[in-house]
Amino acid sequence: MPRFAANLTMLFTDVPFLDRFERAAAAGFSAVEFLFPYPFRAAELRALLDRYRLDLVLHNLPAGDWDAGERGIACLPDRVAEFQSGVTKAIEYAKALGVPRLNCLIGKTPAGVDTARIHDTVRSNLRYAATELGKAGIELLIEPINTFDIPGFYLTTTRQALELADQVGAPNLRIQYDVYHAQRMEGELAGTIARHLARIGHIQIADNPGRNEPGTGEINYRFLFAHLDRIGYAGHVGCEYKPAGTTEAGLGWLAWAKSTSASGATG
């Protein structure tokens, strides 16, 4: 069975964020992820991880004004200094929290800006981030996002992400493959993951439509979880979904994920 990490931004939202660590551990998770640690002191988060024996496997670089609708600043030519400052801050948190990888949300393509300038900014920012993270032994991820949920997002497909990574040329730059976003943009989930397994640093899941828990939509997660075992995916799978009801009520999928993987079932 894949190793699942509870996304504390999306799960257990009936309690305050700092109370979600305990809830995740009680639900049987040994690893967590979330969008941003920055509203909290690193020591406070570290204490919770230690208390509940949880590994933090992922968080994001600062992504601008989230509440105002920004979804990353790496593609904004007039925000380079802010981006670089965010990289420094993210590394400080990652070191304190023992995080092995950080995700960079590229952002929404700015209107009225020369396309070549935008592309150059993205590549330059990613080279900077990869270099600085590399010095700290941290992996940098980039994530394609579907344009139904976030219209205008710069990075939208696996192919585009791979091409961008090739252009940046950093050994510690890999792909965050979100199954939900990939299903909406391109499909061909199992084949894509298998072909590019060596370049995928992290996988996230949600079903479609609705972005709810596995088993609520069209994606055959019984097959997909067994497939990840067969092809040797050794990383964590982040549960970045919106529970259809309460988080605990929707966790029944974990039982069949375990039995499916153990039996080698394919569908």
Q: Tell me which DSSP letter residue 108 carries.
A: B
Residue 36 CA neighbour count, 13 Å, CB half: 17
Q: Convert the pLDDT of each residue in 134-173 to its tens digit.
A: 999 999 999 999 999 999 999 999 999 999 999 999 999 9
Are the C-beta atoms of residues 46 and 24 closer than 8 Å to each other? no
Residues with catalytic annotation? 143, 240
Question: In which element (H, E) is residue 36 found?
Answer: none
141 membership: H or E segment, kind and range? strand 139-142
3 state DSSP class of 225: helix
What's the confidence (pLDDT) of residue 261? 55
Structural domains of the chain sorted by starting position, each given as residue range(s) with its CATH number in brackets? 3-263 (3.20.20.150)
What is d(CA 28, CA 254) in angstroms, rounded to the nearest whole number? Answer: 10
**Distance (Å, whole) CA 147 – CA 72:** 14
The span from the CA of 121 to the CA of 79, in Å, is 10
pLDDT of residue 266: 32
What is the 3 state secondary structure string of 247-261? CHHHCCHHHHHHHHH
* Rounded distance between C-alpha atoms, residue 251 and residue 249, angstroms: 6
Distance between CA 191 and CA 6 in Å, rounded? 25
Distances, alpha carbon 172 to alpha carbons 2, 25, 61, 131, in Å: 23, 30, 15, 8
* Distance between CA atoms of residues 148 and 140, nearest Å: 25
Please state the separation of Cα 203 from the chain's center in Å. Answer: 7
Positions in the chain short of pLDDT 50:
262-267
Please give the model's pTM, rounded to 2 decimal places.
0.95
Where does the chain have alpha helices with state H?
A: 20-26, 42-51, 80-97, 115-135, 158-168, 179-185, 189-195, 221-231, 253-263
pLDDT at 259: 76
Q: Is the CA virtual torsion 9, 11, 15, 21 positive or negative? A: negative
Residue tagged 């304190």 (tokens): 96
